[in-house]
Amino acid sequence: MTHSAWQDGWCLDAEKCESPNFGPRPAQANIDLIVVHAISLPPGQYGGHAVQQLFTNTLPWDSHPYYQSIRGLQVSSHFFIERTGKLWQFVSCNERAWHAGDSYYRGRPNCNDDSIGIELEGLDGDAFEAMQYTSLAALCSTLARHFPIAHIAGHEHIAPGRKKDPGHGFDWDLLKKNVAWPSQYFPEV
């Protein structure tokens, strides 16, 4: 699987679903970090389009009790990978998606400024599917051809104590093997 077709920060191999939740990157931004997240809506339920609805501010807040706890939340990620490996894109990688929140990594705060966020359909602590790792590795390789990627971390690494995803169910060793990047690119796990 490859994700090589690219235009203006958009991966043309991804299903495009534009989010209004983004902004400009600071002029000095050096896009060198990939942040891996896990999300499912409602938590632990897979399939459907609730994640896409959340990122486009169209989630029907009254359709599930859990949604009341996130009502009005305006977030986005650059990418979302379903359990089947299907790739979605919500924000151009040239723009600043709203995925990291209060964060700090590799000596810099505000990771949204210079990172690319990739959400995996899943729940922190649960295992992820083989097709997700295949799609993620292909996407990471594509991103490294367009940006000076030098770091990849989980949300748990950039916001420790506040976030736990992708969690202990994520196989960092498998991702290392699949992308064949130096160990220093990855968090110590």
User: How, if at all, do strands 104-105 and 108-109 pair?
Assistant: antiparallel
Question: Hey, which bits of the chain come out as E strands?
Answer: 6-7, 10-11, 15-16, 22-23, 33-39, 79-81, 87-89, 96-97, 104-105, 108-109, 115-121, 151-154
Asked if the bond preceding 42 is cis, omega within 30° of 0, the reply is yes
What secondary structure letter does DSSP report for 25?
P
Q: What is the pLDDT of residues 107-162, one digit of tens each?
A: 999 999 999 999 999 999 899 999 999 999 999 999 999 999 999 999 999 999 99
Tokens of 162: 């506040």
- Specify the pTM: 0.97
CA atoms within 13 A on the CB side of 14: 29
- CATH code for the domain defined by 6-19+35-185: 3.40.80.10
Integer Cα distance of 78 and 99 in angstroms: 8
As a whole number of Å, the end-to-end CA separation of the chain is 27
Q: What is the pLDDT of residues 73-108, one digit of tens each?
A: 999 999 999 999 999 999 999 999 999 999 999 999
Could you confirm whether 156 is annotated as catalytic? no
> Catalytic: which of 119, 121, 129, 156?
119
Q: What is the pLDDT of residues 31-66, one digit of tens each?
A: 999 999 999 999 999 999 999 999 999 999 999 999
CA atoms within 13 A on the CB side of 66: 9
**Predicted pLDDT of residue 189:** 73
